[in-house]
Chain A
């Protein structure tokens, strides 16, 4: 397998040359390509995009593992089942596995096909997207919906723009947005967040568990958390609550954040500024009387932290200038909490805030660069 491509068959002019993108993808997956520098710098750094992407996947693993365990915890709690640690974990693992398989098979399939069509190498960006998608949808989402959403986002958000590096919006978030707007009943409300077991329990629809944000939606933030609400701050912090698989545990997300910031793969400026934006608006909301909830609750609820650590920091769709990153991150955090506090229809503002700021990131960069250029021109005129 590793010694493909065989000369002739997959090489230019060979019978199976049209497959070369896929063959190359597998080949370079197994072994570093043997190409040597032809122009420019004669030596190159050991890093490549595969390494960058795998670092992000590793950073997501704590959140994914915790999420799987939490799937078991939520189900056993809701149905009053007496499951042990491993039972809970493997239940979650088995529930999550089909989501990962569908996400990767559909997404990578399209990636390979479009790389074939363009005759380019297969890009490794989907390694991350494919891992993110299962972590930001309800665990019981029907697989065909997931497949449809994945296909939509890979084709219309990524490939039509030219693949990884060219896309404007974060493909994983668009997949979620697609599901949310197309199949709202499978994506929100209090019935979808806890996995029903396969045997017998599936029919018990009366039993439901709502996420803190859903409770807040129906009964206000006070009903959800805080001093009198259903979930305490520590529940939200440790993450034993219903929600999208990856988003609930603050500790697991912070572990990933540490790796991303340490390796420099994701921008700490975006993470810090989005949290600052969220805190500020949360605090203003408190002052304005929109909620009695202390502002730091906003950070640990829902997808806020997961979004600011893993989604807002996507280097392709985020602002690229360093000043721009501060502005971009701050506005994401601020907008997400604005949506939560002042939009009665929909509580989870993070997804829309990030997608909106993805749209405006090039504009932010444009402003930063133009103002820098005019400052430079003024300095030059003075000198």
Chain B
């Protein structure tokens, strides 16, 4: 039963009307030939390889470990044979490719008695699901010695075309509940819910908040900053609902199963809907990619450009396909009306068609300039911070100012809309990430 809840209605923010929402149908279930395990999915991980080409692995076998904390393992989502170790510049480890067996075999971790001290922690570490815990500040992998004040789960995603968790996790209530119980071994668990008839409202042992509003209301960072702001020296862990279900499945069955429903979205997706697959599945197996289309793992604001040859990331439950916008429109900026271009500002006439969905592309619609208009940032940032001051402190690398202006509370995704609305086309998420990286380096 829910314990009690707070209600939060956010006004600031923006829902970008992009075309291509996934229909609530499962299009197919992908049995991949090859999956990739990418250390780059895990922020803060310094990977040490544990396998060689030709090694046999089961679903749940360790593939790499953290150099600094060897207990933290990254495991294979499938059973099969290590086919290739992919390295980039300076021999940086990019991915481990595993050729999947026809019949899947799982490592049996045993069903833990999570009430017992340390059992939940052990099974998360062994199974590789420790990596699903994201630690704030900075959005890195949870550290072993941190004592988080809470674990926060945002149960809904407001990002453009984001998957509907009610559909994606339909029928997994039991796993979710077990996952939450396992997480309560570490810290009190809180969740943000939108809508009273949500699947997640049925969960117990969790402090439930009600949140509504435009994007980024669904971001855990925004919700935490209102309910339980992170002060200097404090940590909070966040887990995505999809991975809470995986944790629940693990403690219920003793097996690692990362199968998930991935939303295939975007104006240039040939088929809109959900595909059941594992992380590391090749993009081409999940969706048909047309030429000159960008495949984004995640949403259009903070997702990762995977490339048509890429693989789904560990945390990703969405693919967005949009056209590369290289066409050049004559007098675009001077035309009174540009029916194909959406602008959230009142400088165009998009406000006349509030219901319209746009076939957006990746064009920047302008060139980089110094900051001129800055109120637009505040209008899309429903947090108690001054975005422009934080952004400038990050650009300047001023640690003290970054702290004052709230660097502990944000991740780049929380200011992703600033990237979108800025008429001066600054790279704001990159600036925030640069600030966070500096904080990690200096505060270590």
Contacting residues of chain A (249-285) with chain B, CB-CB under 8 angstroms: 262-265, 267
Q: Which residue of A lies closest to B421 (CB)?
A: A45
Query: What residue of chain A has the Cβ atom nearest to residue B333's Cβ?
Result: A50
For B9, list chain A residues within 8 Å (CB).
Answer: none
One digit per residue, 1 when the CB lies within 8 angstroms of any chain B CB and 0 when it does not, for chain A 171-215 equals 000000000000000000000000000000000000000000000
Per the bound structure, the CA–CA distance linking A316 and B372 in Å amounts to 5
Q: Within the complex, which residue of A34, A123, A369 is in contact with B327, where a contact is CB–CB below 8 Å?
A: A34
Q: Are A50 and B334 in contact (CB-based, < 8 A)?
A: yes
| Contact among A51, A262, A267 for B348, CB-based, below 8 A | A51
A267 to B374 CA separation, bound complex (whole angstroms): 11
> Which of chain B's residues have a CB closer than 8 A to the CB of A35?
363-364, 367
Q: Per-position contact with A for B318-354: 1 when CB-CB < 8 Å, else 0? A: 0010101111111111100010011111111010000
Tally of contact residues, B, Cβ under 8 A:
73
Chain B nearest Cβ from A262, distance in angstroms: 6
User: A140 at interface (Cβ–Cβ under 8 A)?
Assistant: no
Q: Which listed segment binds A: B128-136, B244-252, B293-301?
A: B293-301
Cβ of A116 under 8 Å from chain B: no
Take A41-B420, A267-B375 as given contacts and tell me if A49 and B369 are in contact as well, using a CB distance cutoff of 8 Å.
yes
Q: Are B416 and A47 in contact, CB atoms less than 8 angstroms apart?
A: no
CB<8 Å pairs between A and B, sample of 22: A32-B365, A34-B325, A34-B326, A34-B327, A34-B328, A35-B363, A36-B294, A39-B429, A40-B419, A42-B300, A42-B305, A43-B18, A43-B362, A45-B421, A48-B333, A49-B366, A165-B369, A263-B345, A263-B347, A315-B372, A315-B374, A380-B231
- Name B326's contact: one of A36, A48, A49, A164 (CB within 8 Å): A36
6 A-B pairs besides A28-B367, A47-B345 with CB distance below 8 A are A32-B332, A40-B428, A41-B419, A47-B366, A49-B423, A55-B347
Stretch at the interface among B82-90, B275-283, B382-390: B382-390
Assess whether B322 is in contact with A42, with CB atoms less than 8 Å apart: yes
Q: With an 8 A cutoff between CB atoms, is B213 at the interface?
A: no
**Does B307 count as interface, using CB distance less than 8 angstroms?**
no
**Roughly how many angstroms separate A123 CA and B371 CA in the complex, as a whole number?**
11
The residue on A at minimum CB distance from B376 is: A264
Interfacial residues, chain B to chain A (CB-CB below 8 A): 16, 18, 160, 229, 231, 294, 296, 300-303, 305, 320, 322, 324-334, 338, 341-348, 350, 360-376, 378, 384, 386, 388-389, 404-405, 412, 416-417, 419-425, 427-430
Q: A320-B388, A373-B404 are in contact. Are A41 and B301 (CB under 8 A)?
A: yes
CA of A34 to CA of B362 in the docked complex: distance in angstroms?
10
Known: A36-B326, A49-B372, A163-B370. A44 touches B404 (CB 8 A): no
- A125, CB-defined interface residue at 8 Å: yes
- Residues B329 and A31 in contact, CB atoms below 8 Å apart: yes
**By the criterion CB–CB under 8 Å, are A41 and B366 in contact?**
no
CA distance A34 to B425 in the complex (A): 14
- Considering the chains assembled together, what is the distance between the CA atoms of A196 and B366 in angstroms? 44
Indicate if the CB atoms of B365 and A41 lie closer than 8 Å. no
Q: How far is the CA of A52 from the CA of B326 in the complex (A)?
A: 23
Residues of A contacting B369 in the complex (Cβ-Cβ under 8 angstroms): 49, 121, 123-124, 164-165
Complex contact B372–A125 (CB within 8 A): yes
Chain A, range 12-71, C-beta contacts under 8 Å to B: 24, 28, 30-37, 39-52, 54-55
B423 pairs with A42, CB closer than 8 A: no
Smallest CB-CB separation from A321: which chain B residue?
A: B386
CB closest chain-B residue, reference A374? B404
Distance from A116 Cβ to chain B, minimum over Cβ atoms (Å): 15
A289 vs B372: C-alpha distance when bound (angstroms): 42
* A372 interfacial by beta-carbon distance below 8 Å: yes
Q: Flag if B322 contacts A47 (CB, 8 Å).
A: no
Q: A41-B420, A42-B300, A265-B347 are in contact. Are A48 and B371 (CB under 8 A)?
A: no
Partner of B346, one of A33, A34, A263, A321: A263
Contact between A32 and B366, CB atoms less than 8 A apart: yes
Produce 1/0 per residue, A362-382, CB < 8 A to B.
Answer: 000000010011001000100
B386 touches A48 (CB 8 A): no
Q: B350 — nearest CB in chain A belongs to which residue?
A: A46
Q: In the bound complex, how far is the Cα of B373 from the Cα of A164, in angstroms?
A: 11
When C-beta atoms are compared, the residue in chain A nearest to B420 turns out to be: A41
Residues of the A chain whose Cβ atoms lie less than 8 Å from the Cβ of B386: 321, 369, 372
Decide: A46 and B425 in contact? CB cutoff 8 A.
no
Whether B423 pairs with A47 at a CB distance below 8 angstroms is yes
Beta-carbon nearest neighbor of A36 in chain B: B362
* Complex Cα–Cα for A164 and B425 (A): 14
A166 near B: Cβ within 8 Å?
yes
- Would B332 and A31 count as touching, CB distance under 8 A? yes
With both chains docked as a complex, state the minimum distance between the C-beta of A280 and any C-beta of chain B, in angstroms: 25
Q: How far is the CB of A131 from chain B (nearest CB, A)?
A: 15
Contacts of A166 in B (CB 8 A): 370
